[in-house]
Amino acid sequence: MSENEISFSDQLKKIAVKSLLGFQTVLVFGLGRRLGIFDYLQEKGSEETLEVSFTIDEIVQEMNLDPTYLDSWLHMAITCGLFELDDSCERCLKTAPYIYPLLVDRNNIFYMGDILGGFYYMAPYQSEFLENFKTGKRMDYFDLPYEVRIDVTKMSAILGKRVIEIFSNSCEESDKILQEGGFLLEIGCGYGFNLKNWVEKYPQAHFVGIDIDNQAIDHTKSLIAEHNWQEQVKVENIELNEYFQHYDFRKELRFDVVLLNQVLHEMEPKGNYRQLVFNDIYSLLKDEGILIVGETMIPGIFAPDQARYFEIMHKWFEVGIGSHFYDKDTFMEFIKTTPFKNAELIFDDRDYIWVISK
């Protein structure tokens, strides 16, 4: 056997141990999250927290959970590396190293709980996926349960934080405009989590969010009310083309920035629908305004050196809910069919955004 050849034992460990524990981790985390255990642990921590300790009796009493079920869940959670024994007190546990920022603190930039949550929610749909392999049928996003849709938008908001970072570091003029009170339109604002990130980053700017999901808009309005942003943020349950048709260009200012964060792939790919969307965006932008597209690019199956796991994971959306993604070349070809003249792909630590201008 050559030095680099994988042994039978190595392969067995890879698929029968690591993969099994990975699947169990998704299930254990998903249950703990839905029960509210991870939210409870976040409330005990702070921005500086690296780990949180708790007792089994504490969780039973505070969250009114059955001790037998909790004991079983904690056994598996320890095996999966989420928690460790804490010798500082009796029957005490603590979050394992780096677990607090990764899976507990929703405000941490490294938080990946929403991604694991997305995997967890896919489990009940395996029979439907199986049937769709034979029929080619697509699922309707709006048929998914409310808690699934809200978690999907949380995942997008995590990606959106990187979009904000790259934008603020790379688009100096537009960044300055928003800092001083410019206007931003987010198309497909969902449940408001990504819009909230932008408002917190640019407290002097003015924002409009639109989405076709009425439940999402209701949730966004509750966020606006919670933070007293009524004068700064407006949202509407409306499609872009209808919003554009009712836009009064004589009274309302055009936008300095228009944002599409993980939304383009969900738009109808057939016909010229996407071109019409970009036509409307072009008209809504000021002459010096820019369109920011945060969108995963998926390389072809025979370009493995370009592939990243997170990008390939998005391929399931194509078969799941009929999404359609671009790679770099096909996106540039698409832009040529729109009024926009310039499209620049900006990379930052392997994350990226498209900056598109007139």
Tokens of 115: 């991604």
DSSP letters, 181-238, are T-EEEEET-TTSHHHHHHHHH-TTSEEEEEES-HHHHHHHHHHHHHTT-TTTEEEEE-
Are the beta carbons of 116 and 77 closer than 8 angstroms? no
How do residues 5-56 score in pLDDT, each as one tens digit? 778 888 877 777 677 788 899 999 999 999 999 999 999 988 788 899 999 9
Read off the DSSP letter of residue 36: T
**CA gap 45, 344 in Å, rounded:** 41
**CA gap 321, 276 in Å, rounded:** 21
Q: What is the mean pLDDT of the segment spanning 323-342?
A: 93
How do residues 192-230 score in pLDDT, each as one tens digit? 999 999 999 999 999 999 999 999 999 999 999 999 999
3 has a pLDDT exceeding 70: no
Are the beta carbons of 28 and 77 closer than 8 angstroms? yes
In this structure, is the dihedral angle defined by the CA atoms of residues 271, 242, 292 and 305, taken in order, positive or negative?
negative
Band of residue 308 on the pLDDT scale cut at 50, 70, 90? low
Tell me what pLDDT residue 309 has: 64
**CA gap 152, 154 in Å, rounded:** 5
Tell me the CA distances in angstroms from 56 to 29, 160, 257, one per residue in order: 17, 36, 49
Tokens 């993980």 locate to 262
Band of residue 76 on the pLDDT scale cut at 50, 70, 90? very high
Tell me what pLDDT residue 6 has: 78
How do residues 254-291 score in pLDDT, each as one tens digit? 999 999 999 999 899 888 999 999 999 999 999 999 99
Tokens of 234: 């407006």
Band of residue 310 on the pLDDT scale cut at 50, 70, 90? low
How do residues 138-196 score in pLDDT, each as one tens digit? 888 788 888 888 887 887 888 888 999 999 999 999 999 999 999 999 999 999 999 99
Spell out the domain ranges in the chain.
8-111, 152-357
Of 220, 218, 232, 221, the C-alpha closest to 194 is: 220
Tell me what pLDDT residue 65 has: 96
Name every residue whose Cβ is closer than 8 Å to that of residue 28 and which is 6 or more positions away in sequence. 73, 76, 77, 80, 82
Band of residue 305 on the pLDDT scale cut at 50, 70, 90? low
Give the whole-number percent of the chain exceeding pLDDT 70: 95
Average pLDDT of the chain to the nearest whole number? 89
Are the beta carbons of 196 and 235 closer than 8 angstroms? no
CATH number for the domain running over 8-111? 1.10.10.10
Are the beta carbons of 202 and 179 closer than 8 angstroms? yes
Class of domain 152-357 as given by CATH: alpha beta
Tell me what pLDDT residue 307 has: 56
Tell me what pLDDT residue 115 has: 77
